Every structure is written in structure tokens, then in C-alpha cells.
Chains A and B, each alone.
Chain A
């Protein structure tokens, strides 16, 4: 039986590799597939059961070793580390509808013949960046899993145990595994040891991949929005020039309007721009061109003419004909609709993933506090030191990943106003100027992603987390 490969559009098509890998490692995402869903559901459920089993084993180990403080701290850090993974797994499972809805927002977007080229260019930039991000994060996660496994085979595999009878701390042997965990079987040696080792390797790799790939999904969405905003900023200038007045320099003004009526692309305008900017004496050019009236042609109108809203001559003050005016209006409409579309996507992203970020931050805060305490006990390049530093860097890197993309979104959306101001708005028609006014007013408020309204995701957040961590470390070192 031939199964038709469905054609995916929009965000789904862009993020298909990410979605496929997420489905392969067991996330509860059951759309965008051809074939039986039941098997996939079974696979995801089995993965969930295995992960929960391992997590519960870690917690049992934590509960069994509460007497000795350093063991308690280390086990708590491990438990919190894997809380992220479980939380993200269950969150995506429960919020799958939100994910599908966010993916579906960009299924149909508006187009305009003048700006299609710019649209395609920024879309491909976004696509390449998303692929690169996915590749880097997957590679890093795999490398960390390998590093962790390698580190296990160095140093002593022992733990500290508080002997209540003699009231002293003794050293007890434990199996040489990546995570200190209780098992219902004896994993000291033999076949069970290898089974435990393989299981832990699978667990570490898959759960880290799960957590990181859902973060990558979020970052890819934000990246897409940023590139769309870049596209909007990029077409602001051609839009202005589309409606430029005739009483400023326009060396090929006749060609400009000829090209519009021929319905051709905007490269002509852009080439003009580039040509003029290459000339070093920009001002000189203006005055030189101002002096010659030959370019202005028959549609010249004196600058002191009062603007006439009745449109008695059948054309607007800029001297644009009806057709050109309609073209300008359609371009403005495209710009505004696209901007609203981006705003809708950003709010959908915030609604879908905000709570996950909040839970992540809560867990990370506690984990980083404990890691700061552990860091004060480092006294040389040992396995312990490498472990603590590894955990620290990993936690900070996770927070840094989504903070940097959230920050980029804030910067891009507030720079739209500057782009609107820095294009030649004074050349544009009245309609274009009013458009610039409204856009400037609306874009003063930056688009932000918030963690369920409690905090905004930006580099400020990362700086405050880092600052708090360093403060705790300094205080604890002093107290030592």
C-alpha cells in the first residue's frame, strides 16, 4: 500500500528534524507522522515508565543516605538534575495541544510580490540557524553523556556512611555506576552490573536529550520570530521608497515608477540604494540633483502646496497615481498583518512554554544553591571537582540558552521602532508617514516571553541567577 507523504508547511516543515528526533526519544508527540500511532504511544509509555523507575530509584537512594551531609547534598543535586528531565517530559506530554497549536499558527502567512524575495531570504537564514542549533545541542549532549561515563571509571567508587554505633564516618564500596542509585537487584558485579551500566547510559543520554530538545524547540520558535522581525525591518526602507515624494533626490525616479507599473520585483530600488550609499559624498549628491529639474518630469508639484485631502485632481499630494497608491497601501497592509502574525506567535509561545520555564527556574535555583555549597569543598583536581564543575556549567548553560534567545527577541522587537525611524520616512507619502507613527507607538513596548508572568526571559535573568550563585559561594567560603 502506497502511503502518501504529507506535505508539511510552515513551522512544522522547518522544525521537522527536531520533531522527528523528539519522537524517536520518546516524547509524547503523535502528530505529523504517517503510520500507526499505537506503537508510538506504547513506546512513549514504556519510556516514561523506565524513566520514572530510575528516578524513583534515585530518590530511594537519597532517602536511604540522609545521615551523612555530603552524601545528602550530592544525592539531592542528582535528583534535582533529573527532575528537569522528568518535568519537561511530563510537561510536553500534558501540553501537546499547545505545542501543536503553536506550530500551526504559521501554517498560512501572507505574501506580497514585492517582498517575497526578502521573505524567502530571512526564512532560509532562520532555517539554517535552527538546524545549526539543533546539531550543536545534540552533539553537546551526547558528548556530555560520554564524558560522564568516562569520568565514572576514574577515582574510587565509594561513598561515605555514618556508622551510628561507633558514631564515625566510614567509607563503603558502591557499584561503579554513573549515578548513585538503589536497584532491586545486586549491581556490584556480574551480569547485573553490566545491565545497570547499560540502563544508566541509556537513561542519561535519553533524558538529557529530552530536556534539551524541548528547550531547543522553544529556542527555534523564538529564533523564527526574530528572523521575521528582521525581515519586517528590512522591508521598511523599500516600503518608504515605494511612496517617496518627488521633491527629493530620486535619480531614477522615472524608472522607479515604470518598474512599479510593470509589476516587477524590488531589486531596482535596492540597487539604487546600494549605489548611492557607495558614494562617499552623499550630501553633495543631493544638492547636485536638487539643482537639476530634468528628473522631476511632468508630475512635479511645488513643495509649498497645501495638502489636499479631497483628492480633487484624482491623485494624492505626492503625485502618485491611484494604482501606485493602492500598491503602497497593499504593502503597508502586508507589513502590519505580518507584524500582527508575529505578535500572535510570540504570545502563543509564551502561553505554551512559559510554565515549563518557570518550573525549570525553580528547580535550577535550588540546585545552584546546593552546587555553590558543594563547590566550597573542592580541594584539587579530583573526580569530585570535575563532577561539581560539570553540573554547574551544565545548569548555567541550560539557563543561558533560553535567556539569550529571549533577550534577542526583546532587542529585535524594540529595534523595529528604530528601523521605522531610520528609514527615509520624510520622503514617504502621508499614508506612509502615519503608518510609521502608529508603528513607532506600538513597538515601544517590546515583545517578551514571560515565565508564566512571574519573570521575563532575558539576560537580566541569567545575570541575576549567576550573581546569586556567586554570592552564595562567597558567603559559604567565608563561613567555612
Chain B
């Protein structure tokens, strides 16, 4: 146990020479292929697979809301059904964003170097951030996987022990249970949809958070580049400053592109997660059935985790973007003799103050402040 903990939390690995950037966004090669970043396969198969996954999840979501049309309207059932629907909608949105913007993502990946070498920035800092992303995604994976096992284990146990046919999630679906064949078929279908949900969710979140972390590292590198201008003579200062300014512009464009790609995801996630939290929290306080209570609590925790992760990574992104300002202030301008150079720096500083971050429709930048106001 101690060894495993040490492995997860060992942030100092000074024997490393380089880290591959692709490690940030790849959870495993299996998930990578499922998310169709495998460009070798034919595009029609890709499209078909995508359609299958989206439609499947869509149908599942609609079925879960079918209890509205029941004769007796039960708020509990509706709440659970709506919760499922929202979760699947969130996952669908992020998956679609990634799918429709594969080319843009690949272009972004081209502008980021493939490996981080030892001398560019402290390699253990990058290692730390990589471990953080992996830690988050792994935990999310285990959490969702274990809840799926728990939720499917319960009806299976009921069936084996009591020979009682129960669907998981406590009859929010109005499917018939008499026919064995139909029962097993539908059970299998629900199980497969949940697995697909898990795969798509983990893969997409990995890409999203991994991209954010990669770009934050680039901003930190830029900060270091500005810092390194200290003590250089005038000619070197000039040329290096031009390099830095070019890089600054490139990174701003990348940040804009990222914002464009993931804008719908962020909006949908925020709104639906807030709705989910309110609804499930209310249900937690009014429901009496213990299993439903557990389910509601799980959903509540899940949506809070989603928003928290979004705000956390948004904060990292924003912080790295604003660290460039400190880097420019630290570049040793007070030792320069040429006034024109100093005036250039004012413009650079002003540009750096347009802090980039993930924003909701360009109104609010997502930081931990938003999380505090949501909760």
C-alpha cells in the first residue's frame, strides 16, 4: 500500500530526461482508439461508431425520462431519470465537441512540442502536473467503475438469491420483466450503455484536462523564457524578446482555439451540473428509501466533482496565463539603457494582461471562485 502511494505521489523523478506530451491526453491506447483518434481506420467506420454511441446514449436518456408519461407522476423517479439524462447529455456534448473538432485538436497538438526536454523547464514540475492529471482521471475512473459495479451487482444478487427480476435503478424504466429473454436483453443493453458512457467520459475528460494542462505548461515555459532575458546584452535581448513575443501570440491563439472547441461543453456542463446538484440535494433530504438515497448522494457527489474539476483546471490555466505578467516584469528591464526597448515591453505587458482562460460564453472566466459561488 505504501509503495503504491509512494508511486502515485512521488513527484520528484530527477532521472528523467524527457516527458512525452502525448502522455497527458492518452488514458490508454484502447480508449484512444475508441475515441477515434486512430486515423488509420476508414472514416466511415469512425462515423458509424460515433453515431452508434451517441444514439445509444440518447435513447437511454430518453427512456429514463419516460416516466413523465406514467400515470402516477413520482418525483423520485423523475429526479433519478432526469439525473441520468443530464449526465449522459453532458458526456455526449464533450464527446461530440471532440469528435467534430478532431482536426483542430491535432493542429493544436502540432504547435506543442512532442517531448519536454530537461533544460527547458524543471522537468519535475512537468512530471508533477502529469501525475496530477493521471491521478484525477484514474480516481474518476475507479469511482465511476465501482459505482457501476455496485449498481449492477445489486439486481444481479437479487436475481441469484431471490430470483426476483429487478432492473438496476429501481424501476425508473417501465420495461416489462416477465419474459426472461427480454429481461436479460435489456439488462445487457443497460450495462453496455453504462460501459460506453464510462469509456467516452474518461477518454474525453482526459483529453480536455490534458490539453488544458499541456497549454498551462507552455505558458509556464513562456514565463521562464521571459525570466531568462535577465542579464543579456542588448542585441541578444532584442532577438530573444522577439522570439518570446511570437510565442506569446501563438499561445494566445491556441487558447482561443481551445475556448472555441470546448465552449458548448463548458456551458452545458455548468448549467446541467448546477441543476443536478440542486435537484439531487433536494431529493436527498426528502427521500426515505435508503437505496434511492445512496443513488442520489452518488449523483450529487458526481456532479460536484465534475464542476470542481472544471473549476480546478480552469484555475490552473488562468494562473499560468497570468504568471506570464510576472515573468515580463521580472525580465530585468530596469537594467536596460535603450528607452525604446522599455516602451516595447509596456506593450507586451499590456497584451499579457488579457488573461486567457476557459470562459462561459466569454462572460466569466472559470476559476475556483465560480465553484465557490455554485456550491
Contact = CB atoms under 8 A, between A and B. Distances in A.
Interface of A: 309, 329, 332-333, 336-337, 340, 343, 430-431, 434-435, 437-438, 441-442, 444-445, 452-455
A309 B345 contact: no
Given A333-B334, A455-B369, 9 more contacts: A309-B339, A329-B334, A430-B339, A434-B346, A438-B333, A438-B349, A441-B346, A445-B325, A454-B371
Contact of B330 (A340, A430, A431): A340
B372 interface: yes
A453 B333 contact: no
B350 to A, nearest CB: 6
Given A437-B346, A438-B346, A442-B349, A454 B372 contact: yes
Contacts of B353: 441, 444-445
A333 B342 CA distance: 14
B41 interface: no
Contacts of A452: 368
Interface of B: 315, 319, 322, 325-326, 329-330, 333-335, 338-340, 342-343, 345-346, 349-350, 353, 367-369, 371-372
B349 A434 contact: no
The 8 closest A-B pairs by CB, nearest first: A434-B342, A453-B368, A336-B334, A441-B349, A454-B368, A333-B334, A454-B372, A442-B329
A435 B336 CA distance: 11
B338 A309 contact: yes
B343 A437 contact: yes
8 contacts: A309-B339, A309-B340, A337-B334, A343-B326, A438-B329, A441-B350, A442-B349, A445-B322
| Chain A contact residues, majority secondary structure | helix
Contacts of B371: 454
A452 B372 CA distance: 12
Contacts of B330: 340
A453 B315 contact: yes
Contacts of B343: 434, 437
B339 A431 contact: yes
Nearest to B373: A455
Nearest to A307: B339
A299 B345 CA distance: 32
Contacts of B340: 309
Contacts of A337: 334
Contacts of B349: 438, 441-442
B339 A438 contact: no
B346 A455 contact: no
B345 A442 contact: no
Contacts of B339: 309, 430-431, 434
Nearest to A430: B339
Contacts of B368: 452-454
A157 B133 CA distance: 56
B307 to A, nearest CB: 13
B325 A435 contact: no
A447 to B, nearest CB: 11
> Most chain-B CB neighbours within 10 Å: which of A309, A434, A444?
A434
Nearest to A334: B334
